[in-house]
Chain A
Amino acid sequence: MQNNASSSSLIDLTTCDRSFRHEVNERSGENVGLCWHCRTCAGGCPYVKAMDYHPHAVFRLVQLGLRKEALESSTIWICVSCNTCSIQCPAAIDIPAIMDALRHMALAEGVKIAQPEIVKFHEEVLGSIERYGRTHKLEIMMRYKVRMRQWFQDMDLGLKMLARRKLDLKPSKIDRPEEVSRLFTGSAEDGKH
């Protein structure tokens, strides 16, 4: 799990990006320097097996200024922000807030995304919110499977859910969809929040 390309070679600290951790701190409102690598986060995380770096190891990359390695890690996308780590963290670091910051930076900087399918899924969810103000699960799943070219994966499950009326054919919509859809136009880029 911990074997990424960079661990096989020495880290050249002379080329590290010293501004990186300040950017991460500013975006997340957290202090990544507080992490002393006790690895409690990795011990509790249900997802470490699917990650290339353990959560604290991503923080080490940030502390060392290894921008590319941190932003291209799969960990930042596999993390679901369940907060299992942050309630156990002895330094009370909001670990998912830092993962959020790294996700936003990875998208903004156009680096290679380690888990493009997860980003596509999030995009489909946001697309649904933009269209209806709420999430329409059947449409999200159908559009996602088409984008992933996984035409038949979960089809039997989908049919079972339809038979049990767990999935609605029509979306649940808000009455004033324009109030929500305008948040997506990009013209609302004012303020800090």
Chain B
Amino acid sequence: MNSVPTAAPRKILSALFVGACALSVALALVPLAFIMFFVVSQGIQSLNLDFFIHDPRPVGEPGGGMRNAIVGTLMLTGLAAAIAVPIGVVSGVYLSEYRGTRFASAVRFAADTLNGVPSIVIGVFAYGVAVLPFRHFSMLAGGLALGIMMIPLIARTTEELLLLVPNALREGALALGATRAKAVMTVLVPAALPGIITGVVLALARVAGETAPLLFTSFGNPFLSTSLTQPVSSITVQVFTYAISPYEDWHRQAWAGALVLVSIVLICSVAARLATNRVARIRGH
């Protein structure tokens, strides 16, 4: 060959670039490993039965736990789901059924916008709408804030899933004389249901980990409360309160709370992944 061999600097640069990319991966995984390590090692120490069955005790007294917070988080996310699932799923149906219309585009734009709104701002909104008029913090206000955050997530995943359902199913239903409504509700939605449920689970995991919007809506409560109209504790707010306090014991409990949160997230993520894989395998992908 009559060509000049490739200059060394070019080759070195290329090798350096490849190395830098690999390094970036390592750099990102290091904090992940660190966080998981600390959360697990610190959290596990304080995770005992007391944690789950007792409410917080005054500092210094042993045996305090986060029962009220766990119950609170469960109820708050349940409330959020009650608000968000109907609105989110039905909106998703609209977005997929009437895809090309201007209204659908506007709704989609609104959903994406809402997705990007900082959670603290949503908390301020919920405060104005659900706390101020009644002059006290409540579980309802907290549930509302979380629900608002869930709606766009559920709407978009529902839309995408419905689009994945093969058109042949819809046509089959329509050909048998079903109205559009019937075709959608009895054929399409059930077909997409596993994915929709997965989407809801992931959205739940996401809002279960939110703190900011709860700070001045559900606020917090040192006692166990199941009342909709009273302030209620939540794992996230409790962890925050403990973390910024000066007490060692509370710090330990904060780590335990963090471990519970991360476990929830992990379990939901893995479950969601397995569910989508299973569905894909059943469909024969």
Task: Tell whether A and B belong to one assembly.
Answer: no
